[in-house]
């Protein structure tokens, strides 16, 4: 961390949760974002404060970035650094660090090297009118690659309530994308469980991708000020690899709602006037400031996958709605699908992708996807009828549509590599063109003679193709660059 000559600022006037009120007693007035510390030693603990705002000319509101147990009234406060700095560069790859840049993986101290301030305003890449050549990111997850495709340099949001599989889906996406990615991967753990971070760590070691991945974590037991600043620290690492190392970046964040929640907790402690729905009035600004740092340059792509928790399954909640406009693809996870035991529990009809456009993907994919969505829409209508009067009361045509819709829904279930120990099923990676060919066969009726149950938790459907259609089904790739 960059040091400055320590200057006496004042004394602790009061502590309100993670907010420390400092009375300035000297002529020096710290700037916003400056890091302060205590003058006297407090054992092994380092007490750091970040200047947040001025209540009056001599009253400071500071974010407490340490434990509050060692703070007491009239404690002397001095300057420490113009900002909080974190280590950057190749030395953080293969490591898990906390908000201060200290390792938390038990692998020893980090090598000495460059640091960067987390609040630095990055020089945004210049806008260009040239069309970038981007390839489709292939996650190997059928339902995502087919219904909500994503180009390199885009952003994917995994949106859902508690217990529907957001983190499990994120971990699988990390595993599959990171294996073939030619750049680096960064993971920001924002207020999630320690167990989930450990499982991700083990998954990265198993797939031998840990060496090109950096993790910065603040678990749910950390105080709100730390959870609130972790996204900015992670964005700083992203900017470094994009601008200095010129490497493509895969950025993962779990969970954006916890970032908003931490800001709301701090806003309440600061006694700021909330917005209409009880959230901080600066919610949109905080999201924009974070998301706008995750942009691609004219030569380097920053691709992002972020989870968003939905409180009480209310998608209209302002904390959920705020980040959605920044995503090119939005995957909505369904509690109903989860209750049925269908994983990934993705609501296909409510999930969207701006990439699913005839001018961006090949015509074959667009036409098959459009037909599949129409089929599922008809299936949902018929499913409500079947619930009341039973399938036997449907017309012959409706029975055909209902059966194909059920096969398609079952086909979109998939066993994950990262959940093999929990489910007992071997994980599968399905290429996009395999999924496309299988879906085309389902909607055209080539699998009408095959039981719908046989489509549950399979990879591709090669082994299910009836003999009379085997020569017609093709998995030949058809790619289009944007």
Provide the 3-class DSSP secondary structure of residue 282: coil
- Does the pLDDT of residue 124 top 70, yes or no? no
Average pLDDT on 106-125 reads 79
Rounded to the nearest 5°, which phi and psi values hold at 48? -120, 140
Show Cβ contacts of residue 252 under 8 Å, excluding neighbours closer than 6 positions. 170, 173, 174, 185, 186, 187, 188, 304, 305, 306
CA atoms within 13 A of residue 33's CA, in its CB half-sphere: 11
Instruction: Tell me which DSSP letter residue 52 carries.
Output: E
- Does the pLDDT of residue 3 top 60, yes or no? no
Number of Cβ atoms within 10 Å of the Cβ of 349: 13
Number of Cβ atoms within 10 Å of the Cβ of 453: 9
pLDDT tens digit string along 411-424?
999 999 999 988 89
Average pLDDT on 169-180 reads 92
Angle formed by the axes of helices 224-243 and 256-269, to 10°?
130
Reported confidence tier of residue 120, pLDDT bands at 50, 70, 90: low
Q: Kindly state the percentage of the chain with pLDDT values over 90.
A: 64
- Do 241 and 292 touch, CB atoms closer than 8 A? no
User: How far is 195 from 211, CA to CA, in rounded Å?
Assistant: 21
**Residue matched to tokens 């434990």:** 67
The whole-number pLDDT of residue 478 equals 54
The whole-number pLDDT of residue 468 equals 74
Spatial CA neighbour of 134 closest among 149, 115, 144: 149
* Mean of per-residue pLDDT scores for the chain: 89
Beta-ladder partners of 11: 23, 76
Average pLDDT on 56-83 reads 89
Q: Which domains does the chain have, with CATH numbers?
A: 8-83 (2.40.10.170), 86-353 (3.40.50.300), 363-469 (1.10.1140.10)
Q: Known catalytic residues?
A: 166, 192-193
- Does the pLDDT of residue 193 top 70, yes or no? yes
The whole-number pLDDT of residue 469 equals 72
Q: What share of the chain is helix, strand, coil (3-state, %, to 5)?
A: 35, 20, 45
Q: Out of 66-80, 128-142, 146-160, 239-253, pick the least confident.
A: 128-142
Structure tokens at 236: 């700083």
Q: Out of 12-16, 69-73, 306-310, pick the least confident.
A: 69-73
Q: Which H or E run includes 413?
A: none
Query: Parallel, antiparallel, or unpaired for β 59-64 and 19-24?
Result: antiparallel
The whole-number pLDDT of residue 129 equals 42
- Do 36 and 22 touch, CB atoms closer than 8 A? yes
User: How far is 245 from 243, CA to CA, in rounded Å?
Assistant: 6
- Does the pLDDT of residue 481 top 80, yes or no? no
The whole-number pLDDT of residue 94 equals 93
Average pLDDT on 276-301 reads 91
- Does the pLDDT of residue 1 top 50, yes or no? no
**Residue matched to tokens 């890091």:** 35
**Residue matched to tokens 């000319």:** 57
- Does the pLDDT of residue 8 top 80, yes or no? yes
Q: Dihedral of CA 272/278/279/284: which sign?
A: negative
Q: How many H helices and E strands in the chain?
A: 12, 18
The whole-number pLDDT of residue 41 equals 62
Show Cβ contacts of residue 195 under 8 Å, excluding neighbours closer than 6 positions. none
Q: Out of 1-15, 140-154, 313-327, 420-434, pick the least confident.
A: 1-15
The whole-number pLDDT of residue 131 equals 46
pLDDT tens digit string along 293-342?
999 988 899 999 999 999 988 999 999 999 999 999 999 999 999 999 99
Provide the 3-class DSSP secondary structure of residue 330: strand
Average pLDDT on 76-91 reads 91
Average pLDDT on 134-141 reads 90
Question: What's the Cα-to-Cα distance from 176 to each of 91, 168, 433, rounded to whole Å?
Answer: 24, 13, 16
């Amino acid at each position: 961390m960059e040091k400055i000559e320590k200057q006496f600022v004042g004394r602790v006037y009061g502590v309100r949760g993670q907010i420390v009120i400092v009375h300035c007693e000297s002529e020096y007035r710290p700037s916003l974002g400056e890091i302060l510390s205590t003058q006297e030693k407090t054992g092994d603990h380092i007490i750091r404060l970040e200047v947040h705002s001025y209540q009056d000319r001599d009253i400071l509101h500071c974010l407490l970035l340490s434990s509050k147990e060692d703070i007491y009234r009239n404690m002397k406060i001095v300057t420490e650094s113009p900002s909080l700095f974190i280590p950057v560069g190749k030395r953080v790859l293969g490591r898990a660090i906390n908000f201060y840049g200290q390792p938390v993986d038990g692998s020893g101290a980090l090598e000495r090297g460059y640091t960067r301030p987390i609040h630095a305003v990055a020089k945004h890449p210049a806008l260009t009118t040239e069309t970038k050549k981007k390839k489709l990111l292939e996650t190997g997850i059928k339902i995502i690659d087919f219904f909500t495709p994503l180009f390199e340099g885009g952003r994917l949001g995994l949106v859902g309530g508690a217990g529907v599989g957001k983190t499990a889906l994120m971990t699988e996406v990390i595993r599959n994308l990171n294996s073939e990615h030619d750049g680096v991967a960064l993971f920001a753990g924002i207020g999630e469980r320690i167990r989930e971070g450990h499982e991700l760590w083990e998954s990265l070691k198993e797939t031998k991708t840990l060496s090109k991945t950096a993790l910065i974590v603040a678990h749910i037991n950390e105080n709100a000020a730390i959870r609130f600043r972790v996204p900015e620290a992670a964005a700083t690492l992203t900017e470094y690899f994009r601008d200095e190392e010129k490497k493509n970046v895969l950025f993962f964040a779990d969970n954006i709602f916890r970032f908003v929640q931490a800001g709301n907790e701090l806003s309440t402690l600061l006694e700021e006037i909330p917005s209409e729905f009880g959230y901080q009035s600066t919610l949109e600004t905080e999201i924009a400031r974070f998301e706008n740092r995750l942009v691609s340059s004219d030569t380097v792509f920053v691709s992002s996958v972020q989870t968003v928790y939905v409180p009480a399954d209310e998608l209209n909640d302002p904390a959920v709605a705020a980040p959605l406009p920044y995503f090119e693809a939005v995957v909505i996870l369904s509690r109903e699908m989860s209750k049925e035991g269908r994983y990934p529990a993705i609501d296909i009809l409510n999930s969207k992708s701006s990439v699913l456009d005839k001018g961006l993907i090949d015509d074959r994919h667009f036409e098959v996807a459009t037909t599949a969505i129409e089929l599922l829409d008809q299936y949902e209508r018929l499913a409500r009828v079947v619930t009341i009067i039973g399938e036997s009361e449907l017309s012959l045509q409706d029975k055909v549509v209902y059966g194909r819709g059920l096969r398609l829904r079952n086909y979109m279930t998939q066993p994950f590599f990262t959940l093999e120990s929990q489910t007992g099923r071997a994980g599968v990676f399905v290429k996009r063109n395999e999924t496309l060919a299988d879906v085309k066969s389902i909607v055209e009726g080539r699998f009408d003679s095959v039981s719908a149950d046989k489509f549950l938790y399979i990879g591709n459907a090669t082994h299910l193709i009836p003999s009379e259609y085997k020569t017609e089904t093709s998995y030949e790739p058809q790619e289009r660059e944007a």
